[in-house]
Structure 1
Amino acid sequence: MTAARVRNPGKRKATARARNCAAVLAGALMALTGCTGGGESSPSPRNPAGKTATSSPARSPRALDEKAAVLSAYRESWNASVSAYAKASSAGTDLRKTTTARALLDIESDLTELRTARQITTGKPTIHPADPEVTVGKFLKATLTDCIDITAWTLVDKTSKKKVRLPSGRLLRYVSTATLEKWGKQWMVTKVTAQEKAC
């Protein structure tokens, strides 16, 4: 996930992303610690994300056409992340097809912590990504804001399947921002940042 993709703001990470949410789940779970994946659909705040001096918002037909591809890649990245957290390993998942750079490093770090703690996740988060903003420079780049709901995403002991106790005050719905870049024909999630902000 993003996780954390899942990193949940507001509490110490139980596992990087998992704790960002709460232990992997806590971290993509980071998302979990601060969050847990329910599924109410509430509008997510738009990400006033950064325009650089060398790039500007693209309002061209091409940029509009890219938005659907950006959202598709983002959702695929999340789906692959959830599969990886469910077994504490990215092996056999499609994670690397749509996730790279810092986003991938964060997830792999969380997975390592999960394996060490002998924990996995069950269920899945609900995401509500807003329309991405596509910018044009030397390459296509996109940013989007999401409202992650981890109410139904649970961190458990791998053997006993018992729930792992997480901070009671963690956010179960939090704001997250993501950056994607187009590499060749494929959009890739390069960074996901959970914010200490409810949504």
Structure 2
Amino acid sequence: MTRAPRRPAALTAVRIPKRLTTAVLLAGSLVALTGCSDNGPKASPSRPGTSPSASASASPRSTVDPEQAAVLAAYTQSWQAQTEAYAKASSAGTGLRKTTTLQALGLVEQDLETMRKAGQVATGKPVIHPSAPKVTGGDIPKATLTDCVDTSHWTLIDKATKKKVPLPSTRLIRYVSTAQLQKWGTKWMVTELTAQKQTC
């Protein structure tokens, strides 16, 4: 029995029976600048697809202020680090802790452990389509954004055989994701990533 992705931040993981254990991915890449599907509800992305390797502020809209650009940059960097982690089934040396809090990182680490035990890694990169974030002030400034994550070009493979791991045909390849961030000092951190059971 399959389950829709339970989060996004890191990777949107799709759970299937333990024998085929998997963690399939969420991150953004310029590899494929495809838009979200016209089928199903839209996430209403406000920008073209970007990759984790591209700066979130590389092509900001004129309506995006410096604080919003900083949030997008932190979000994109978190995705880049996640993509690197899934490529080797380990967060070591990826810089994930620099952009993602322990609360959000815990879900990613669970996926990575599952992948290591199964001898799996991810190849390719996902594409993200983050909207302009909503930023609120306070003692600890917060931000929320909606994303359309496209995992079409993010593939789970068996590390030993290099063969693609079979995944449920019903899994969401493009899905809506929401992210929560907080500003710690001068730095924005991803505190929560949630994959919605909704295509985009």
Q: Please, what TM-score do these two structures have when normalized by structure 2? A: 0.76
The runs of 4+ residues in structure 1 deviating greater than 3 Å are none
Query: Match of 1:13?
Result: 15
32, 35, 41: which one pairs with 2:35? Answer: 41
CA apart distance, 1:24: 1.1
2:192 is the counterpart of 1:198: no
Contact 1:145–1:177 at 8 Å: present in 2 too?
Answer: yes
Query: Match of 1:129?
Result: 130
**Structure 2: gaps of 5 or more residues:** 1-6, 37-41, 46-63
2:180 is the counterpart of 1:179: yes
CA apart distance, 1:38: 5.3
Structure 1 residues 61-100: aligned runs within 5 Å: 64-100=65-101
Alignment deviations for residues 145-169 of structure 1 (CA, whole Å, 9 cap, x no partner)? 0000000000000111100000011
Q: Secondary structure at the match of 1:71?
A: helix
Q: Share of identical aligned residues, percent?
A: 53
Contact 1:3–1:107 at 8 Å: present in 2 too?
Answer: no
Residue type matched to 1:81 in 2?
Answer: Q
Residue type matched to 1:177 in 2?
Answer: T
CA distance in 2 between partners of 1:91 and 1:123 (Å): 19
Q: Secondary structure at the match of 1:86?
A: helix
CA distance in 2 between partners of 1:130 and 1:196 (Å): 18
Contact 2:16–2:168 at 8 Å: present in 1 too?
Answer: no
Count of paired positions = 167
Aligned CA RMSD, in angstroms, stands at: 2.5
Residue type matched to 2:143 in 1?
Answer: A
**Structure 1: gaps of 5 or more residues:** 32-36, 47-62
Q: Please, what TM-score do these two structures have when normalized by structure 1? A: 0.76
Contact 1:5–1:193 at 8 Å: present in 2 too?
Answer: no
